[in-house]
Structure 1
Amino acid sequence: MRIQRNLHMIMPNHSKARCILITFIALLLSVSATKIMAQQVQRNDFILSGKIATTEITSLEINLFNAEAKLIKTEFPNQQGEFRFDALSKGAYYFKIRRGQSDLYNSEVIQVTDHDIALPEIRIIEQRLETVVINKSRPFIERHDGKMILNVESSLQNTGGSALEILGKAPGVTIDGNDNVILRGKNNILIQIDGKNSPLTGDELANYLRGLPASAIDKIELITNPSAKYDAAGTAIINIKLKKGTNKGTNGSFSTALGAGRYVKNNNSFNINHRNNKFNLFANYNFAYREAFNELMIDRKFYTEGNLEKTYLQDNFFKFNTRNHNGKIGLDYNLTEKNLLGASVSFTSNVFKPRGDSKTAILGPNDQPLSHTATLSQTANTLKNISANLNHKYSMDTLGSELSTDIDFIRYVNTSNQGFDTKTNNNEGEPIGIPYILRGKTDGGLNIYALKSDWIKIFPKNLKLEAGFKTSYVKSDNDIEFYDHSTSPAVRDTNKSNHYIYQEHIYAAYGNVSKKWNKLKTVLGLRIEKTDVTGIQLTTAQINKRQYTQLFPSAVFSYEFTTDHNLEVNLSRRINRPNYQQLNPFKYYINATTYRVGNPDLNAQTSQNYELTYSFKSRYIATLSYSKISNNITTVIKPVIENGENITVQTEENLKSASYYSLNLILPIKPTNWWDINNSANFYYGSYTGNVSGTQINNIGNFTLDMNSIHTLKLGKNFVAELAANYKATEVYAFVRIDPYWYLNIGLQKKFKDKTTLKLAVSDLFNSNTIKGVTVYNDYKENFKSRREPRVVMLSYSYNFGSTKTGQSRKTGAADDLKRRAE
């Protein structure tokens, strides 16, 4: 019955859908029949050729990549500077001309369609006293195969930053006051690291991203409408790809960054790679130490039938430091020409120590002072992780057909020691009652086991079939013990102590078929996932079980009018399952007037997504999208009354529905040879329907925009300057409205001929990045202001060493379907 209902959401009228499907198949067969004779005589391979004009031809190499940034071939020019790539199939390519470690020229994207391509002469000017003059570097923002790609090193504003800070600066991305990642107005985003779903959520995910330095990141992919090959979880996917060497021989890099705002920050990265024709051995290590603060000021008003009862004026100051170690070691070994075996082990150790000072003034109906409450909190969180992966790839033919298999085991251990000291005084400053002293400890464990296999078969005449399966088992075990130390001996607090076990099985299978005709490319996919969830609350002997199977179709239709003009339609259905923390029904203490609680009755949300993308020269891009979400999982802060006192509770609720409309524009401009401008703008509207805490909303939302402009100035003598500006307009999330804010970042870079680079960056130059907003219910109103550390200055040094000869890269796979929702 559940499958039928889900299908009904996609195809409301079965007979009508059947007629449309039959008509589409008939049209497909008709088009194929009319073109089959022409295809038999059409060529399947083409030549891309060119000529380089420079003062020194020797030691140049040209590397050709496909649209997925995979190295296809390497060629060397002859003495006249001529080069050619033979036997290329239709598709999108780009190439790099290199001398040693330096990129001398990066081409635009070249579309190979139905004829050979002879490029205009490429002129490269080199200076003897400098390493090189780079004619073209990777742009900060690119789009390939439905992904928006952010090349992290191409923007100086990311110098010395963390992964969380980079995401906050990304076009269309917002980090809210609770450190949740929001993309184009949609929350519940799936975060991946190298294609693997992160098992962390909430504070733990934010702490991990704070500790991941920008120097360890190669690029970030924003995938707003994934195909059936991807895990169906999340409203969208953000994939953070870490650096990995691809050059032959022994090579690597080292970087360090030091800076401060109000507090000190330090990031360090080291990676090394050794590659030959038989194997590739790689390792990396990153360490980050960061001190920062977050100040949250809140004005809470509680009403009864419209009459003001109480006001809470809160000033919460949190200072925290993070020590993060993470690393990885791996090996890819060519067993035979067709068999590649890979293995890797990675680890993380993250110590996060926040200290909080929360002061609350309680006022009566006429704003007369009643009492004052102060809470001092101190927490020490330690998160340790080890992950192991074994993978195998069998290359079936020279066309690119392959069979790949991945086995993963992941183990997370989390411990947390917490202390809260609360004192309450009357208006004259005299103590009320005895101080409330609360001590707690959390022991958490998370085990993940996963197996996946993917089969790709490429046929002549641009036909491609994909199929695969994934299975995963997740077990989370969290034991929380709180004791009231206000009396002697200490008493176990049964309202806050809690032992929760979560088990999840997911079984998935998918199939994709893609076919390209002369100008039209079609990709049709279907994914099926079966979910079996059990939540056991040992403290209350409460057991929650859920089982459901759902279908997730996807389709892409791409039409190439000319080599410069392309139109793409993208359709998909997705799901977002509640994470372990969201389902846990016990309370997490924050301060004297606020706690967090999970919701065991939370349902999974599903979404229908539609995108229309137009691109010009693969650089100027406009994407129009619409998403309809059912049972939208929304974080809310709502009022309750406990023991006669007004309390606010942070939790998750299912809203009936949410709708998002958006227009995303990418507009790069090059006014001169030394000035590049990378502009992006997101216009979107979100509307919500549902009921929380007795408050009904019907299609409440607003139109908003997010604009980003990055100016890169090549100043000569290998100096590069950058100015990055961002503006976010007023935005509404269900019951919350966020006021507009903006910020400006600047940076300066100098490259030296000994393979070293210096970078200086200043973020939030004018201290303007302050988040303010209001939450409104029928009997509750909250104004808040959140200020994170402003104006951070960072100085970075990096050095590259070793061989510069490029070898073929190997993308190591992983079980990328599971784990994002941690304890």
Structure 2
Amino acid sequence: MKSLHYTFLFLGISATSLNAQEIKGRLLDSKNEPLLAATLSLHNQKDSSAVKYGYIEADGSFRFSQIPAGNYFLKIEEEESVQYLEHFSYDGASDKDFSDIIFTPSESTMEKIVFTYQRPLIEMKPDGLVFNVDSTINAVGQNGLDLMRKSPGVVVDKDENITMNGKNGIRVYIDGRLSPLQGNELSEYLKTIQSSTIDAIEIISSPSAKYDAAGNAGVINIKLKKNKLLGTNGSMNAGYAIGKFSKYNGGVSLNHRNGKFNIYGNYNYNYGISWNDATFERRTLDTFFSQKAEMIGHNSTHNYKAGVDYFIDDKNTVGIMVNGNVRASEMDGRNATGFIHIPTGALTQSLVSNNQDANNRDNININLNYQHTGKNNGSTLTIDGDYGRFNINNDQYQPNLYYNNAGSEIHRNVYNLLTNTSINIFSFKADYEQPFMKGKLGLGAKVANTGTQNDFDYLVQQNNNWETDRDRSNAFAYNENIQAVYGQFSRQEKGWSYQVGLRAENTLTEGVSNGQRWNGSSYEQYETTNPRNYFNLFPSVGVTLNKNPMNMLNFMYSKRIDRPNYHDLNPFQYKMTDYAYRQGNINLKPQITNAVSVTHTYKYMLNTRLEYAHTSDVFAELVDTINNGKMFQIKQNLATQDIISLNISMPFAYKSFSSFLNLNTYYSMFKADYGNGRNINLDVFAYNLYGQVAYKINDWLSAEVSGWYTSPSIWQGTFKSIAMGGIDAGLQARVLKGKGNFKLSVGDIFRTMKWGGSSNFAGQDVKAYGRWESQQLRLNFTYNFGNNKIKTRQRKTAAEDETRRAGDSQGIQQSR
């Protein structure tokens, strides 16, 4: 513990480089009060194009960072007035301080001066990119997992695991709050988030020291929409989609903001029927297993969010926020497996497993926060406390009926699997920043405790009665406590900038599995405990050469960790059929990644990133055999993984036409030796391609075509996947003087979205392929009402390991 206090004094790197030089000032009204309702933007003198939007703090202060040398002017809009500040020159090497700007209303009205702003689909950053969901028509009617599939560099495999740039170990944040869910629990949760509530997806491949160190491949932050308007205002939305089955969604958002309070809330509902099918083929010993499966699900979801901010004065703000969701789903599965004797090709028997799976889950998060802004020295202090709770209940009815080759039933095994899971999260975080040695110093600390309880009851039907199989039932408790401190320092020198940081994390975990086992004469209680304690330092460093802002280079290094999911540590068996099950591994160790990268940005548009990453003890999904050909899946630590990746992105705009293209390529090598000829030695060259073309037909109508493609790759270290991709198209119409918005789109026009993969390990040859309801017609309508003036505060939480990342590479971006 003493070492934690020492590391608090160290400085470490960030994966981004922040420019310490700024254009700044304070915006006041005629009474010298902060002008909170104003909209502020920075423009090029040459062509009057907007460079960046300003973020006005509670005391009226604003700042624009990472601005190249040039000639600019400021534009201020408030109510029906507009004011332009005289042209000025900025050298990019020292601050430009306007001090106090007194806004003088003019007679120019917003009816005479109309300014519209459309964020680019993709914003490139030195540490990753931002996928602006609301800027694409074809995102309408989809959920969070659907959008992950289409995000540049992100792949969702057959088991709905998320990888990025060929690496697993992604950690997902919701509004900056780290989600404790991983694997299937995470994918099911992402399905509850509708695209109509998502503002942007931040894909950060090299997070800074301010972030939690978890996430070998980086982090993905899903930013939900936040009302930025003053006064009383809101929006309503409704949507409909049809594929094989119908789907509906709707919601409402309300906000009221005055000089002292900001009160906000929203609610969204979604109901739909989903469909997917899959085929699994296995060859082991002298038997070929051919399984066909079709799943139909009924899903309903409620999402809610409410909060209050109180502005004590121009330097101090407190707030409380509550959000969560409730979901109920029922899945009916039809499964048929044929057993074929390979030497003769004869069907020996068949297995029919028409199962039913009822799943209910609810989640609530509570955040308390405080923010202090130093009026004179530019320092900031934020303190956050969070509590989160997840309840997940699953009831799976699993009948297994065996038939001979004549179609007569031989015997049956019928099970009922009951799983109840609760997750409780407590976290406390403090972050402090201030100017220091002509740069910016940041210090912070965080304590987080996650406790899970997983009760698994395995019931067997005997003579029409249900009996508990005590050998297969168990209770698994997992507790994780992480104490972290970090320090980081950034500074702009002449022609270059740097940021260095160091994060220290001490981790205490304990997994306890309780159950009963037969000792030959009776059942006895057993308890398996697996405590661990490890301490890690996570340095990161970034250097940017920006002497010529039109031709910048950025170099980064970072170290990351990925801890096992509690579900993957639980050794109980989850049955899919009598001949297939999944099992946890209590001996899983964390995987560690060291990564270096270089990024080149040309004219704020063409962005090229080259990265090398080495990961030890890689998590991999192994498909193994036991008991004369029964298949089971288990996660193991592969020996190593090495990945070289190259990402190239380029936006283009001409008059009413715009486009974006992102190409991500990587070469990956997996190596491991489990003895007895059980070796893994796989390598692959793969690439992902994402593109969008948009055309503004007139002032109210626009069209868009987008598509993505993923080449053959490797899933979870052992599965070789096939290629996958699709094309979407849509129209958008703005109506009711811009307050209404219709979006119509067709997903997967050519019905090419299907997955497939193969594995050959331990004498077992496996092939799997399938598809889901990807081809859909979707319609959505949104209506905005109330005031249209921007409010000033966005809430960051204790789990929000988000830092201000500089380096806007294209278009206009709102300062944070």
TM-score (norm 1): 0.84
- 1:555-607 deviations in Å (ceiling 9; x for gaps): 01111031212111111101000011010001011122211110000000000
Over 3 Å counting, the alpha-carbon distance change for 1:387 and 1:135 in structure 2 is closer
Percent identity, aligned pairs only?
29
Pick from 287, 302, 305 the counterpart of residue 328 of structure 1. 305
How does 1:238-637 map onto structure 2 within 5 Å?
A: 238-303=220-285, 309-366=286-343, 367-398=345-376, 400-433=378-411, 435-459=412-436, 461=438, 463-539=439-515, 540-637=526-623
Q: Hey, what's the Cα distance between the residues in 2 that align with 1:509 and 1:169?
A: 35
Is this contact kept in 1: 2:39–2:54, CA < 8 A? no
Is this contact kept in 1: 2:455–2:476, CA < 8 A? yes
Q: Hey, what's the Cα distance between the residues in 2 that align with 1:196 and 1:454?
A: 15
SS at match of 1:212: coil
2:626 aligns with 641
1:739 aligns with 722
Is this contact kept in 1: 2:176–2:796, CA < 8 A? no
2:135 aligned with 1:154: yes
Is this contact kept in 1: 2:571–2:584, CA < 8 A? yes
Q: Hey, what's the Cα distance between the residues in 1 that align with 2:73 and 2:138?
A: 26
Q: Hey, what's the Cα distance between the residues in 1 that align with 2:742 and 2:113?
A: 16
Q: Hey, what's the Cα distance between the residues in 2 that align with 1:44 and 1:385?
A: 41
Q: Hey, what's the Cα distance between the residues in 2 that align with 1:191 and 1:654?
A: 22
Is this contact kept in 1: 2:57–2:793, CA < 8 A? no
- 1:6-47 deviations in Å (ceiling 9; x for gaps): x9xxxxxxxxxxxxx9xx9xxxxxxxxxxxxxxxxx997689
2:182 aligned with 1:205: no
2:703 aligns with 721
Q: Hey, what's the Cα distance between the residues in 2 that align with 1:410 and 1:816?
A: 14
Q: More deviation in 497-506 or 695-704?
A: 695-704
TM-aligned CA deviation for residue 146 of structure 1: 2.0
Q: Hey, what's the Cα distance between the residues in 2 that align with 1:695 and 1:284?
A: 57
TM-aligned CA deviation for residue 641 of structure 1: 2.1
TM-aligned CA deviation for residue 137 of structure 1: 1.7
TM-aligned CA deviation for residue 619 of structure 1: 2.3
Pick from 643, 662, 667 the counterpart of residue 685 of structure 1. 667
Q: Hey, what's the Cα distance between the residues in 2 that align with 1:653 and 1:94?
A: 58
TM-aligned CA deviation for residue 657 of structure 1: 0.6
Q: Hey, what's the Cα distance between the residues in 1 that align with 2:324 and 2:489?
A: 37
Over 3 Å counting, the alpha-carbon distance change for 1:111 and 1:245 in structure 2 is farther
User: Is there any run of 5+ residues in structure 1 with no aligned partner, and where?
Assistant: 8-20, 25-41, 49-58, 77-84, 118-127, 304-308, 819-823
1:811 aligns with 795
2:147 aligned with 1:166: yes
Q: Hey, what's the Cα distance between the residues in 2 that align with 1:238 and 1:623?
A: 18
Is this contact kept in 2: 1:470–1:817, CA < 8 A? no
TM-aligned CA deviation for residue 115 of structure 1: 7.8
Over 3 Å counting, the alpha-carbon distance change for 1:133 and 1:332 in structure 2 is closer
Is this contact kept in 1: 2:348–2:404, CA < 8 A? yes
- 1:429-473 deviations in Å (ceiling 9; x for gaps): 11112x211112222211111111111112473x11111111111
Over 3 Å counting, the alpha-carbon distance change for 1:456 and 1:292 in structure 2 is same
2:751 aligns with 767
Q: Hey, what's the Cα distance between the residues in 2 that align with 1:394 and 1:47?
A: 18
1:219 aligns with 200
Q: More deviation in 675-684 or 686-695?
A: 686-695
- 1:99-158 deviations in Å (ceiling 9; x for gaps): 989x9x9xxxx99614899xxxxxxxxxx9x99987752111002352300100101110
SS at match of 1:299: strand
Q: Hey, what's the Cα distance between the residues in 1 that align with 2:289 and 2:744?
A: 43
Over 3 Å counting, the alpha-carbon distance change for 1:810 and 1:535 in structure 2 is same
Q: Hey, what's the Cα distance between the residues in 2 that align with 1:662 and 1:686?
A: 8
Q: More deviation in 62-71 or 798-807?
A: 62-71
How does 1:34-45 map onto structure 2 within 5 Å?
A: none
TM-aligned CA deviation for residue 812 of structure 1: 2.8
SS at match of 2:697: strand
Q: Hey, what's the Cα distance between the residues in 2 that align with 1:775 and 1:150?
A: 33
Paired letter, 1:452? K
Over 3 Å counting, the alpha-carbon distance change for 1:395 and 1:452 in structure 2 is same
Q: Hey, what's the Cα distance between the residues in 2 that align with 1:785 and 1:542?
A: 37
Paired letter, 1:383? R
Paired letter, 2:734? K
2:92 aligned with 1:113: yes
TM-aligned CA deviation for residue 174 of structure 1: 1.0
2:169 aligns with 188
1:653 aligns with 636
How well do the aligned residues superpose, as a CA RMSD in angstroms?
3.4
Is this contact kept in 2: 1:148–1:223, CA < 8 A? yes
SS at match of 1:153: helix
Q: Hey, what's the Cα distance between the residues in 2 that align with 1:807 and 1:241?
A: 17
Number of residue pairs matched by the alignment: 740
Q: Hey, what's the Cα distance between the residues in 2 that align with 1:142 and 1:136?
A: 14
Is this contact kept in 2: 1:47–1:88, CA < 8 A? no
Paired letter, 2:504? I
Is this contact kept in 2: 1:64–1:72, CA < 8 A? no
TM-aligned CA deviation for residue 328 of structure 1: 1.0
Is this contact kept in 1: 2:22–2:95, CA < 8 A? no
Over 3 Å counting, the alpha-carbon distance change for 1:473 and 1:778 in structure 2 is closer
TM-score (norm 2): 0.85
1:176 aligns with 157
User: Is there any run of 5+ residues in structure 2 with no aligned partner, and where?
Assistant: 14-19, 27-36, 44-49, 97-108, 516-525, 803-816
Q: Hey, what's the Cα distance between the residues in 2 that align with 1:675 and 1:441?
A: 55
Is this contact kept in 1: 2:452–2:477, CA < 8 A? yes
Q: Which has the higher contact order (CA 8 A, sep 6+)?
A: 2
Q: Hey, what's the Cα distance between the residues in 1 that align with 2:567 and 2:77?
A: 49
SS at match of 1:248: strand
Over 3 Å counting, the alpha-carbon distance change for 1:466 and 1:357 in structure 2 is same
Q: Hey, what's the Cα distance between the residues in 2 that align with 1:43 and 1:412?
A: 43
Over 3 Å counting, the alpha-carbon distance change for 1:769 and 1:738 in structure 2 is same
TM-aligned CA deviation for residue 269 of structure 1: 2.7
TM-aligned CA deviation for residue 674 of structure 1: 1.4
Paired letter, 1:312? F
- 1:192-240 deviations in Å (ceiling 9; x for gaps): 0011111212222111111210010111100101111100001110000
TM-aligned CA deviation for residue 717 of structure 1: 3.9
Is this contact kept in 1: 2:56–2:62, CA < 8 A? no
Q: Hey, what's the Cα distance between the residues in 2 that align with 1:62 and 1:453?
A: 30
TM-aligned CA deviation for residue 730 of structure 1: 1.3
